[in-house]
Amino acid sequence: MNPPDRTAARGLAPRTVESLNRALARLLAERPDLYLLGEDVVDPYGGAFKVTAGLSTSHPDRVLGTPLSEAGIAGVAGGLAMAGNQVVVEVMFGDFATLVFDQVLNLTSKSVTMYGDRVPMPVVVRCPVGGGRGYGPTHSQSVQKHFLGIPNLALYETTPFHDAHPLLEHAIDHGPAMLFEDKVLYTQRLFRDGVVGEHLRFSLVGADPGWAHVVSADGAAPDAVLICPGGMAYRAVAAAERLRERWITLHLLVPARLHPLDVEPVLPLLAGPVPVAVAEESTAGGTWGADVAAVLHDRLWSTLPAPVLRLSSADSVVPAARHLEERTLLGARHIEDALVAALGGRAAPVARPVAVGEAATPGVTVTVPMLNNNDTTYLVLDWLVEDGAEVQPDTPLVEVETSKAIEEIVAPHAGTVRIRVASGSEVGVGAVLATIGGTSGDGAGPAPAPPVPAPLAAGPPAGGTYVLDRAQQGAAVVVSRAHREVPAAFTASEVRVDDVLGHLRRVSADTGAEVGLPEAVVHAVAAAHADFGHLFGRLVDDRTVALSAAADVAVTLDLGHGLYTPVVRDCARRSLVDIADDLMDFRMKAIGGGFSASELRDGAITVSLNTADGVWFVQPIVMWPQLCMLSVGSPRRQVVLDGDTPVPGTVVTLGLAYDHRVVNGSDAAAFLRAVADGLVRPEQVAGLVA
Amino acid sequence: MNELVGLVAGVLELPPGAVDDDTGAATEAAWSSLRHVEIVVAVQRAYRVHLTPREARSCRSVGALREVLTEKGIAA
């Protein structure tokens, strides 16, 4: 008989080893032609990890101990299946699945379709895999990738979200199959009732055996999605918890069947422009994760904001010493740091798995930070130091061009620079630019520069297709996100501007330099900051707004060379002439180039300038994560009422789009009125141009 | 025709003969705020000179541009 089920008696979720044991016991009871073969699987030992404890006692004629010959066991299993039986094989350590490989590749999988008629081969080879136990190089490997893509062979992996009985049942009925069981899961309890701790929830999606979809309990939309096999699940959950403390929401997708992979049910969950990563304990190269990335690139190319980030363990044997093993195998901290870097949270240092023999101090990795909300890739322009140069903290290393600016990346650390990317390369956010200190490991120099496509000479061709230039691609990302994520409302107001235009003409004459209506509007918006500070800021998450202490006003500039939104800093404390100087500087850069990334970020509100002749008004969008955008059209002459008397006058239309999650209509109207007052009321106009 | 006049005429898409030192925002409708910035940037590139934002705002005619360039030691 099987061991007493103390876990169930206490109302706890079963541990993975218990779930597997119960599943096998139930399947042996349900299926009289099912055999279980393996080394030391019989009682009293009950298998190296006790998965088969009690089963040989209950089913002594079908739970059979075997000699130490994995190839022999697999061959017997194939023969039993061909004779009409079902078989579960236990390989004591997945590392020895190499000895099973010939039978699986050339007998079990081939037999299904090489005899003309389809031959059922209900064989499941169970393989405990992975490290984390201190078992050393030959008892800790993740061998899943070696079995990928064999016709008729399905690959499954245990997860803490999937009960083992339907999983094993599916594997047997869709066999031949390999079932990989990450050893660190054996002692961990399954998640159940849709709960993954305090902050995360899960559900199963797709047809059996399906995917586990882990989301934030508060319903927050994901900042990134991580796909991983079951063995990584606890580490991925830990990474999600750590990222949550950094205001980053990570969703997880964990399939029970690795191959063939049914991505259809999860494509809608990945359809938004959210970064996607794949994490696996295997070493890189020809992996399941690479296969997943390739599939997602094929299916989601138009919406992925960046190539799928692939995370693996170090290119290394797995050391036996636990402290070295932790450095070598992909862990929660590696996932956390890689995702933070990919999302632009910080440039360095980034923890990454380190190979055995690599320097104990692996050096600091200099990665590409997120320099704006527009771009997911940047162009490496020029290295400012030589490969091998000694640098100090803050030494400028490299110039990187965004769609709208050139930014210097500085050394975060003193040491010897090893350049990893050549000038002219296009690099994604989070990509490694260089290492400082430590050893380079592979000794590789910078990669060769990829060919740089020639810029479009003079606008799009008539007919045919063309690719948006970098600046427009950046704008597309921002406006798409704004349109998709911000439930914006809109209000407008007409303002008579004769007086303020008169004042501005006098200021221009007095100072000898032009000051126009845009400067006055920016100043009036900034002046309203004191009373409407809650409209100046950004949305941190669905419930949190970070208010801006200063009236940093972004302005839209489209002078025919791309749309830019540089920020005039602290406008409320500065004179109109100062603001006019800033705007002229920005206009010159909008045509001639030369914006720095810092000039283009962290605006608290945006003013959309649309003062070209004939433009009456423009309905702005809200530049996520800001809360509001105010538009100003061109001044126009029309008949207005002065009291009850029709007189000629000059008016402009101000529009305000606002994030209705944060700002309500009455506040928006009051804010717009305050801005209008700043342009109309004599005392405020006088103050404006003082 | 001098070089500066030709440059401004090119930006404004006017025949060079229609441009002289008096041509500016106050006299020529084609000298819009956008064209003004384009003229300033074209001057910076052509003469390899940097105009401050204040200078750029003040140069509202060909003559004013010539004066600023002269102050910087550039014969235009």
Q: Sketch the domain layout of chain B as residue ranges.
A: 3-71
**Residues A162-171: what's their mean pLDDT?**
97
Q: Does the pLDDT at position B62 exceed 60?
A: yes
Q: Does A512 touch chain B (CB under 8 A)?
A: yes
Distance (Å) from the alpha carbon of B72 to chain A's nearest alpha carbon: 18
ipTM over 0.95: no
All residues of chain B having their beta carbon less than 8 Å from the beta carbon of residue A580 are: 53, 57
pLDDT at A688: 67
Which helix (H) or strand (E) covers residue A127, if one does?
strand A123-129
In the CATH scheme, what is the code of domain A376-451? 2.40.50.100
Q: Does A517 touch chain B (CB under 8 A)?
A: no
Q: A1 falls in which pLDDT band (50, 70, 90)?
A: very low
In the CATH scheme, what is the code of domain A195-358? 3.40.50.920
Record: contact B57-A588, CB cut-off 8 A: no
Q: A151 falls in which pLDDT band (50, 70, 90)?
A: very high
Contact status, residue A444 vs residue A342, Cβ threshold 8 Å: no
Count CB atoms within 10 A of the CB of residue A451: 7
**What is the pLDDT of chain A when averaged over all its residues?**
87
Q: Cα–Cα distance between A416 and A388 in angstroms, integer?
A: 6
Record: contact A592-B44, CB cut-off 8 A: yes
pLDDT at A234: 96
Residue A385 is classified by DSSP as S
Residue A108 is classified by DSSP as I
Residue in A with minimal Cα distance to B34: A559
Cα pseudo-dihedral B43, B47, B53, B58, rounded to 10: -60
Of all residues in chain A, the percent with pLDDT exceeding 70 is 91
3-state secondary structure at position A343: coil
**Residues A93-110: what's their mean pLDDT?**
96
Record: contact A560-B34, CB cut-off 8 A: yes
Q: Which of A161-165, A374-378, B27-31 has the highest mean pLDDT?
A: A161-165
User: Per residue in A422-431, pLDDT tens?
Assistant: 888 888 877 7
Cα pseudo-dihedral A589, A591, A593, A594, rounded to 10: -10
Q: A451 falls in which pLDDT band (50, 70, 90)?
A: very low
Q: Which residue has the tokens 């069981």?
A: A181
Q: Which two tokens stand for residue A556?
A: 């839209």
Residue in A with minimal Cα distance to B26: A514
**Residues A5-14: what's their mean pLDDT?**
70
Task: Give span(s): CATH 3.40.50.920, chain A.
Answer: 195-358
Q: Which two tokens stand for residue A29?
A: 């009871």
Q: Cα–Cα distance between A400 and A249 in angstroms, integer?
A: 28
3-state secondary structure at position A383: strand
Q: Does A673 touch chain B (CB under 8 A)?
A: no
Record: contact B58-A512, CB cut-off 8 A: yes
Is beta strand A488-496 parallel, antiparallel or unpaired with respect to A645-659? antiparallel
All residues of chain A having their beta carbon less than 8 Å from the beta carbon of residue B34 are: 559-560, 612
Between A489 and A440, the higher pLDDT residue: A489
Beta strands in A194-308 (DSSP E): 195-196, 200-205, 211-216, 224-227, 250-255, 257-259, 276-283
What is the CATH superfamily name and number for domain A6-185?
Answer: Thiamin diphosphate (ThDP)-binding fold, Pyr/PP domains (3.40.50.970)
Q: Does B72 touch chain A (CB under 8 A)?
A: no
Task: Give span(s): CATH 3.30.559.10, chain A.
Answer: 470-688
pLDDT at A332: 93
- pTM tops 0.90, yes or no: no
Q: Which CATH class is domain A470-688?
A: alpha beta
φ and ψ at residue B71, rounded to 5 degrees: -60, -25
**Residues A139-161: what's their mean pLDDT?**
97
Q: Which residue has the tokens 């809360």?
A: A627
Which helix (H) or strand (E) covers residue A434, if one does?
strand A432-436
Q: Cα–Cα distance between A667 and A474 in angstroms, integer?
A: 31
Q: Does the pLDDT at position A6 exceed 60?
A: no
Distance (Å) from the alpha carbon of B45 to chain A's nearest alpha carbon: 9
What angle separates helix A576-592 from helix A498-511, to the nearest 10 degrees? 80
Q: A690 falls in which pLDDT band (50, 70, 90)?
A: low
Between B72 and A445, the higher pLDDT residue: B72
What is the CATH superfamily name and number for domain B3-71?
Answer: ACP-like (1.10.1200.10)
Q: Which two tokens stand for residue B10?
A: 């090119």
Contact status, residue A424 vs residue A449, Cβ threshold 8 Å: yes
**Residues A560-582: what's their mean pLDDT?**
90
Report whether the peptide linkage leading into residue A122 is cis, meaning its omega lies within 30 degrees of zero: no
Q: Does A587 touch chain B (CB under 8 A)?
A: yes
